[in-house]
Amino acid sequence: MRRPSLHRLVPIAAAAALLAGCDAFGSFESQCARRLGPTVVRVATTPVSYTADFSRSIDELTARGAHAAGTIVLGLVETEMRSEARLDLNGVKQSFRDRYCMRPSVEVRLAFEPMRLYIAREHAEGSCAFRATMDHELKHIAVYQDYLEEFAVRVQADLARELGEGILYFGSAAEADAHIEAVIKQTLTPYLEAVRDEIKARQRRVDSPEEYARLGAMQSWCAGR
């Protein structure tokens, strides 16, 4: 797995109502409370999918994926964590004064992509050895999917807590946009920096001594057929 990428913010044009004055309609704060919808925080995931490459040799895969001397790699999965954030400020600006209120609507999408699954070309597609290796690599892919769903729940809880449910006040829409982007980045960055180590730990559990022994026995059995 390569290093996870930091988030990319994709802003949506802010919807900003304009209040010329508040005396006839109540205070600016009361108008904000009446006009603004609730804060929305949604963290979604893209289902894991992969493209397959069966053209690489055992030597090539070993060079790319061996974690210890003497290890031979017959199959390999490579991917990268990506995130994208979409933001709608949903704000109200008070005319003639530098006041802007808002409750944000934020959507973060998380994905492991691109994902590529390799199986050594020495194991012909559809062969017994190929199926044994593919079965093992699919276990690794399942780990990515499970982790992604757990990751999304954690990010959503933290982001919702950081943004809160109250009305936020700023001097301008630009200031509001910068604040929300900073909150998203500050919330996501520690998670994205931890992804690599957390995934490695989970994948090591797949590559247990018992699993390697099972694979070795299966490959030996396949070679005798």
Cis bond upstream, residue 104 (ω within 30): no
Residue 142 in tokens:
């399942």
When pLDDT is cut at 50, 70 and 90, the band that residue 70 belongs to is: low
End-to-end CA distance of the chain, in Å? 34
DSSP for 37-70, written as a single string: ---EEEEEEPPP--EEE----HHHHHHHH--STT
Could you give the angle at the alpha carbon of 87 between the alpha carbons of 86 and 89, nearest 5°? 170
| 146 C-beta neighbours (distance < 10 Å), count | 12
| 24 C-beta neighbours (distance < 10 Å), count | 6
Question: Is the pLDDT score of 202 beyond 50?
Answer: yes
d(Cα 39, Cα 222) in Å, to the nearest integer?
Answer: 57
Q: What backbone phi and psi angles, to 5 degrees, belong to 46?
A: -95, 125
Q: What tens digit of pLDDT does each residue of 182-192 get? A: 999 999 999 88
Question: Is the pLDDT score of 225 beyond 70?
Answer: no
Q: Give kind and range of the element (H or E) at residue 184.
A: helix 173-206
| 189 C-beta neighbours (distance < 10 Å), count | 14
pLDDT of residue 40: 93
Nearest CA-CA partner of 102 in 24, 177, 21, 26: 177
Residue 61 in tokens:
């895969």
d(Cα 61, Cα 75) in Å, to the nearest integer?
Answer: 7
| More confident: 11 or 137 | 137
Please state the pTM of the whole predicted model: 0.80
